[in-house]
Amino acid sequence: MILGIGADLANIDRIAGTIDRFGDRFVNRVFTERERITAERRALTVATYAKRWAAKEACSKALGTGLRMGIAWRDMGVVNIRTGQPTLILTGWAARRLEEMTPPGHRAALHLTLTDDHPWAQAFVVIEALPLV
C-alpha cells in the first residue's frame, strides 16, 4: 500500500546562487557528509546538490509534513546503491515519522527517482508499506 507520494522541482541556477552566496554554511546545513562527498566528486556538482535538495523536499512531502514539525534537512540523505540507483536513508525525526506512519505488520520501502535537465532538477518519492513475511 502507498503511504505517501512527494515531488519537487528545483532550479539548479538558484541552488548555485545559494552556494555562491553562503558556501559551506549552506552545504553543511542541508546535506549529509556522504551527499557532500558524492556531489564534490561529480563533474556536475551543483546539479547533484540540486537533485538532492529536490529529493529532500519530495521526501518531506511524502512524509506528510513538508519541512516543518521538527524535520531537519540532514534527517533525509540521498545515497546510491551499488547499481547507481538513488535511495533515501532517514534518521532523527524523519525516521520517527516514517515509523509512525507505517502500519503494524509492515515495513516501509522508500522509492526515489532523480533527474535533471539544466536548469531543472526533479525528484519523486514514493513511500510504500510492504507486509512482513
**Above 80 in pLDDT, residue 70?**
no
- What topology does CATH give the domain 2-131? Ribosomal Protein L22; Chain A (3.90.470)
Share of the chain above pLDDT 70, in %: 96
pLDDT score for 25: 96
Tens digit of each residue's pLDDT (9 = 90 or more) over 17-54: 999 999 999 999 999 999 999 999 999 999 999 999 99
Inter-residue contact 108 to 129 (CB < 8 Å):
yes
pLDDT class of 8 with cuts at 50, 70, 90: very high
Nearest to 108 by CA among 63, 61, 70: 63
Helix or strand or coil: residue 131? strand
pLDDT at 71: 79
Q: What is the mean pLDDT of the chain?
A: 95
Radius of gyration of the chain (CA): 15
**Domain residue spans of the chain:** 2-131
pTM given for the model: 0.94
Residue 66, phi then psi, degrees to nearest 5? 65, -170
- Flag whether pLDDT at 66 surpasses 80: no
pLDDT of residue 69: 67
As a whole number of angstroms, the distance between CA 123 and CA 15 comes to 15
Euclidean distance between CA atoms 15 and 26, whole angstroms: 10
d(C-alpha 58, C-alpha 6), whole Å: 4
